[in-house]
């Protein structure tokens, strides 16, 4: 991406300024010629009694010829104005202006009246024509200089050469008038040329900055697309490792091996969290998230957060308090949960002792959700930057091995997308309070978040048969191993054709399918074709994509989906839902 050049090409700007000057001249040419004809006709009529000979007729014919030639040049310029002919037509215009000035200068001398009143009349005409030239010709100084002195100097000199003191005085005043008006015209012309040059410089600067802005935006989108594409391939082995670590931890009884397995699992979990943060920021940058604004009760979300973060808080020796609230809010539930999860995760990460507390403060038409901690706090100078990407608080007690500094950047992006107010209050060593203000919702429009209570159907204990479709062999083997360890059978395949052949007439209880299967096929396509033969089956799509089209297709499908690497607990939860569906079908 180029930087502003800063240097100006004088010749390039001079040519563009000349284009504007010539355009301004020709825009006013027809009115100028009309004034020439009108004033010339009046002068001829007034002087005809004094000069009845052929002189006035010849002068009038020359005036008409001059006007005709300049009109032809005007039309030629209008037809070829975009062909870079400004230099040539500037010369044509200057020549025409000189011819016009000469005609009027000749008239002032050739038809110099013997009567003072008529002399004043002629002088008034020439002075007025000169004053008009200031407004019509100063766009290009050579045109003004070519016309104005030639039109007034002859009559001024003729007045000075008379023997009458009054006439001599008029001549001297006319000479002073010519000098003064030429000086002012020069200044006006320079100012006009400078204003055009500055305008062109500003236009070029705006275009250059706009181009750089587009380049920066394209680079940012390319970065997001690259991250989205790379994350798919990187998530494949991480997904398999995640399952293997979980199985290894469940299978070992030796304390030392379990300790090592736990450390491996912790490292894999950290890596998974980093991928999650990169995924979230990529989705927000790529514009794949479309907010679904609705009214919903906060209580189920608060309970879920309390359950999900309770283990981590206990592991860190902290007291986690999630105050229950009956508040109803109106926003996107998923993005609000993402904001609160990042707040809680940060609070737990940077608190070494004490507590983390979430509470809801209601006031009229909004609810303020606060997450407070007794952690290390944030210096005032750092509070302005904590919502930037990759920025991490520099303080004693911070674990430099945790996080990329993306959590609060994700909060800022999500809040901007939802148009929610966020902020922080903190002091070094005295903890922090992060908040998000959410509009109040309509309780009458809230949707039920759970199933209607009823008599529980008996749950089958028979082993399930699940169809696993993934074009990555490592993922197929790890998923099959995990399902077998959980006591279930599985049929694996790399494509739809492989799956149809492997089923051999069997009907699976559920389907686990990767979104991207190669050859232009997606997991959604495969599920649609399978269900035409098998009927509706519980199914889940596993994906490592964050690209806009993939995410939009998944959201539009209405099917459940998970991002790789999938936590074993979530995969196990899907298997449990398949078991419940199988029990309901057999009941």
Architecture of the structural domain at 292-445: 2-Layer Sandwich (3.30)
Indicate yes or no: pTM above 0.75.
no
For 503-551, the pLDDT digits (tens) are 888 889 999 999 888 777 888 999 999 988 888 889 999 887 755 577 7
SS3 content of the chain, % helix, strand, coil (to 5): 65, 10, 25
Q: Write down the pLDDT at residue 16.
A: 84
Burial class of 100 by CB neighbour count within 10 A (0 to 12, 13 to 18, 19+):
buried
Q: Write down the pLDDT at residue 100.
A: 92
CB atoms within 10 A of CB 433: 16
Q: 414: Cβ–Cβ under 8 A, 6 or more apart, which residues?
A: 284, 335, 338, 339
For the chain, the structural domain boundaries read 10-161, 218-288+458-587, 292-445
Length of the chain equals 587
Those residues of the chain that have pLDDT short of 70 are 1-11, 83-84, 221, 223-290, 389-406, 447-461, 546-548, 587
Q: Write down the pLDDT at residue 517.
A: 85
For 56-104, the pLDDT digits (tens) are 999 999 999 999 999 999 898 888 777 667 888 889 999 999 999 999 9
Query: Of 483, 490, 486, 500, which Cα lies nearest the Cα of 465?
Result: 490
CB 507 within 8 A of CB 534: yes
CB 107 within 8 A of CB 119: no
Q: 13: Cβ–Cβ under 8 A, 6 or more apart, which residues?
A: 197, 200, 201
d(CA 379, CA 386) in angstroms, rounded, equals 10
| Upper half-sphere CA count for residue 79 (Cβ side, 13 Å) | 6
Helices 333-349 & 299-315, crossing angle to 10 degrees? 20
Query: Of 451, 453, 424, 447, which Cα lies nearest the Cα of 437?
Result: 424
Look up residue 517 and give its two tokens: 């299967």
Q: What is the DSSP string of 336-354?
A: HHHHHHHHHHHHHHT-SSS
CB atoms within 10 A of CB 82: 7
Look up residue 322 and give its two tokens: 């999630």
Q: 97: Cβ–Cβ under 8 A, 6 or more apart, which residues?
A: 137, 143, 144, 146, 147
d(CA 44, CA 34) in angstroms, rounded, equals 15
Q: Write down the pLDDT at residue 492.
A: 92
Look up residue 261 and give its two tokens: 């397995």
Q: Write down the pLDDT at residue 6.
A: 46
Q: Write down the pLDDT at residue 231.
A: 60
Burial class of 224 by CB neighbour count within 10 A (0 to 12, 13 to 18, 19+):
buried
Distances (CA, A) of 112 to 38, 101, 116, 173, 294: 20, 16, 10, 17, 91
CB atoms within 10 A of CB 1: 10
Q: Write down the pLDDT at residue 117.
A: 85
Q: Phi and psi dihedrals of 65, rounded to 5?
A: -65, -45
d(CA 117, CA 365) in angstroms, rounded, equals 85
CATH topology of domain 218-288+458-587: Rossmann fold (3.40.50)
CA angle 554, 558, 564 (to 5 degrees): 40
Q: 157: Cβ–Cβ under 8 A, 6 or more apart, which residues?
A: 171
């Amino acid at each position: 991406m180029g930087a502003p050049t800063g240097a100006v090409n004088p010749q390039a700007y001079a040519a563009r300024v000349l284009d504007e000057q010539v355009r301004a001249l020709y825009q006013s040419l027809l009115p100028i010629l009309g004034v020439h004809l009108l004033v010339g006709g009046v002068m001829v009529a007034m002087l005809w009694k004094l000069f009845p000979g052929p002189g006035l007729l010849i002068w009038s014919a020359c005036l008409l010829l001059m006007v005709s030639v300049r009109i032809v040049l005007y039309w030629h310029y209008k037809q070829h104005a975009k062909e870079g002919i400004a230099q040539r037509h500037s010369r044509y215009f200057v020549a025409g202006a000189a011819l016009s000035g000469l005609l009027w200068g000749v008239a002032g001398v050739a038809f110099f009246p013997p009567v003072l009143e008529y002399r004043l009349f002629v002088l008034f005409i020439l002075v007025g024509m000169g004053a008009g030239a200031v407004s019509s010709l100063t766009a290009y100084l050579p045109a003004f200089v070519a016309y104005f002195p030639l039109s007034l100097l002859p009559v001024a000199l003729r007045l000075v050469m008379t023997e009458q003191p009054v006439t001599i005085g008029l001549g001297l005043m006319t000479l002073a008038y010519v000098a003064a008006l030429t000086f002012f015209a020069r200044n006006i012309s320079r100012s006009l040329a400078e204003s055009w040059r500055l305008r062109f410089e500003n236009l070029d600067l705006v275009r250059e900055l706009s181009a750089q802005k587009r380049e920066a935006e394209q680079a940012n989108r390319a970065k997001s697309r690259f991250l989205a594409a790379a994350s798919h391939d990187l998530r494949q082995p991480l997904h398999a490792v995640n399952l293997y670590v979980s199985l290894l931890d469940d299978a070992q009884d030796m304390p030392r091996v379990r300790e090592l397995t736990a450390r491996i699992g912790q490292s894999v979990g950290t890596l998974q969290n980093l991928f999650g943060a990169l995924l979230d920021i990529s989705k927000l940058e790529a514009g794949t998230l479309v907010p679904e604004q609705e009214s919903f009760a906060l209580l189920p979300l608060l309970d879920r957060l309390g359950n999900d973060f309770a283990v981590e808080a206990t592991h860190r020796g902290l007291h986690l308090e999630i105050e229950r609230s009956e508040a109803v809010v109106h926003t996107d539930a998923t993005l609000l949960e993402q904001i609160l999860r990042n707040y809680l995760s940060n609070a737990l990460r940077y608190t070494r002792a004490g507590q983390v507390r979430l509470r809801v403060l209601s006031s009229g038409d909004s609810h303020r959700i606060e997450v407070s901690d007794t952690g290390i706090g944030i210096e005032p100078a750092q509070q302005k930057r904590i919502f930037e990407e990759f920025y991490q608080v520099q303080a004693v007690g911070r674990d430099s091995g945790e996080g990329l500094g993306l959590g609060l950047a994700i909060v800022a992006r999500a809040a901007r997308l939802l148009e929610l107010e966020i902020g922080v209050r903190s002091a070094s060593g005295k903890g922090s309070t992060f908040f998000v203000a959410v509009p109040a919702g309509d309780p009458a429009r809230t949707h039920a978040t759970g199933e209607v209570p009823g008599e529980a159907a008996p749950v089958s204990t028979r082993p399930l048969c699940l169809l696993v479709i993934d074009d990555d062999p490592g993922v197929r083997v790890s998923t099959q191993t995990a399902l077998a360890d959980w006591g279930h059978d599985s049929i694996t395949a790399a494509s739809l054709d492989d799956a149809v052949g492997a089923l051999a007439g069997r009907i699976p209880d559920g389907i686990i399918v990767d979104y991207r299967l190669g050859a232009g096929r997606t997991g959604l396509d495969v599920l649609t074709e399978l269900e035409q033969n098998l009927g509706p089956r519980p199914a889940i799509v596993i994906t490592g994509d964050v690209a806009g089209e993939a995410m939009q297709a998944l959201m539009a499908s209405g099917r459940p989906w998970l991002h790789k690497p999938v936590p074993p607990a979530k995969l196990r939860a899907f298997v449990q839902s398949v078991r419940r569906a199988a029990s309901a079908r057999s009941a």
